[in-house]
Amino acid sequence: MSILLSSNYQWVLLSTLLLGFASGLIGCLVYWRKQSLMSDALSHAALPGVVISFLIFQEKDFFLLIIGATISALLGAFLIMLIKSTTRITSDTAMGLILAVFFGGGIVLLTVVNRNSNGNQAGLDSFIYGQAASMIWSDVVITTILAATVILIILIGFKEWKLLLFDPNFAKGLNLSIKGMNTVYLIILVLTIVIGIQAVGVILMSALLIIPPVSARYWTHSFRKMMWLSGLFGGMAGTIGTTISALGSGWPTGPFIVMISGLIFLLSLFFGAKKGIVVEYLIFRNKKNEVLKLMPPAQIVREGKR
């Protein structure tokens, strides 16, 4: 338990808290744009960039690695749009194609590095499943700053994001640049993914973007409240998952964060105030009892025999 009192753990916890909160916020935009597979494709597409950056610079500097991951993920996004616009392939098929090809290429490169390097590549495997414990002070600072930047961009432009999602024609009438906002959206989405791959991993990073907003949807119909709840759920998952991972020896962080997210989803699925299964059942039963009270006794008997 002494590890929970260490300053290194507390700083890592702060970074994963902000990462989870940022993922929950941007995840709401992904959810309403129906681009859940896009987040999965881009997170997998970031892996080759991490390995290529290491091959070029021969050091595991987190800043250099996320630059490589960002370029790789943006290239994946560009190829998805290119395939969609120039061929008859649907967008989901294009996303699945890029996901498989880029991730497969990343695994091949990672295998080559592990076999041919002299040991200074140790830790690159943590980008697959995530390992917050491997983060050093400079990694924490970069993650914290970039996650806070994403949060500020989303919160400051909340009204603009809402218009873009629900009434893009009205947004055009207000002279908002739809193309510009789409570009900013893609940049902050990729940024959130690449800063999270060390803590959560490229395989499971998409879950941190998808599960919190889906869980929040069961609690409210308000977009504003949904964003705050999604951020809260993401932050909780990041905090609790990181803590559990820190208590073990070499436990990957990503799976624990996703497990906590899954638990939050199950609780929301059954007990969510707006769409929860239990809540909807209770509402249905109460309405049925109210109808039965208004029905004549003879009709109630006939209904019961059916």
Q: 43 and 202 in contact (C-beta within 8 Å)?
A: yes
- The per-residue pLDDT for 4 is 66
- Measure Cα distances from 214 to 130, 192, 225 in Å: 23, 18, 13
| pLDDT (0 to 100) of residue 189 | 94
Q: What is the pTM of this model?
A: 0.88
Token pair for 94: 């294009």
Residue 72 is predicted with a pLDDT of 94
Residue from 97, 98, 122, 96 nearest 110 by CA: 122
Are 191 and 146 within 8 A, CB to CB? yes
Residues 283-302 have a mean pLDDT of: 69
Top CATH class, 2-209: mainly alpha
Q: What is the pLDDT of residues 9-35, one digit of tens each?
A: 788 888 899 999 999 999 999 999 988
Give the pLDDT score at 153: 95
d(CA 269, CA 276): 5
- At 77-95, the pLDDT tens digits run 999 999 988 988 888 899 9
Report the pLDDT averaged over residues 206-228: 93
Q: At what angle do helices 158-166 and 223-247 cross, to 10 degrees?
A: 110
Q: What is the mean pLDDT of residues 2-13?
A: 75
